[in-house]
Chain A
């Protein structure tokens, strides 16, 4: 469509909003699984992280998209002494996920702020287009 030029910036902001929503979903998953000691195969949950990449169509249109969700294997799992726990080993030690709730909350806040920033960029662009249309009056 030839009117697409009017919405190019809007599409870029929208792609960022989608990406941030995906990041929030992953953070929510990390938080909810913060104490899952068995994810079915006997191993505890490992925190996940998102990787973003830019979408390039030509040189102008540069949105962002979710490239992949990777498992964090660098952060060590937490070991706790809980003899009564069904997943405890012979020494009474339980391996807990490497999710740090405080860090996840910081990520969540960051994601939320990024979402707001892109939303604002979108709103400004819509307002600009509306103002430009007023030229016709």
Chain B
């Protein structure tokens, strides 16, 4: 048994300075903040959703495209969204864990 890994000072700093709903801002040390990371991943997922929407719309309106292109775009959107969800869950877990820490 290697014992419990101590919480990194980085994580404590994030929990202390950032709330999940805060506007994105860079931290003093130059690393990306909690909400900044979340914001970036959400933007990625949103972009993929919009792209798949456009491809599907074009296909259904007979403006070209092929079935596999539509499925590819839908898959990209799906995976991006689930990636966003996983990152969000992880970040929130870490945040809540730190907030529960007894001082």
Contact = CB atoms under 8 A, between A and B. Distances in A.
Interface of A: 1-3, 6-7, 10-11, 14, 17-18, 21, 119, 122, 126, 129-130, 133, 136-137
Contact of A3 (B44, B66, B90): B44
Question: Chain A interface mostly helix, strand, loop or mixed?
Answer: helix
B66 A18 contact: yes
B16 interface: no
Interface string B52-72: 000000000000001011001
A136 B82 CA distance: 10
Question: Chain B interface mostly helix, strand, loop or mixed?
Answer: helix
Interface residues of B, number: 18
Given A10-B76, A21-B66, A133 B47 contact: no
A103 to B, nearest CB: 26
B69 A18 contact: yes
A27 to B, nearest CB: 16
B89 A126 contact: no
B72 A14 contact: yes
A126 B79 contact: yes
Contact of A10 (B75, B86, B87, B89): B75
A4 B92 CA distance: 25
A94 B89 CA distance: 73
A133 B69 contact: no
Contacts of A21: 66, 68
Interface in B1-52: 40, 44, 47-48
9 A-B pairs closest in CB distance: A136-B86, A17-B68, A14-B72, A3-B44, A133-B82, A129-B79, A126-B75, A7-B76, A133-B86
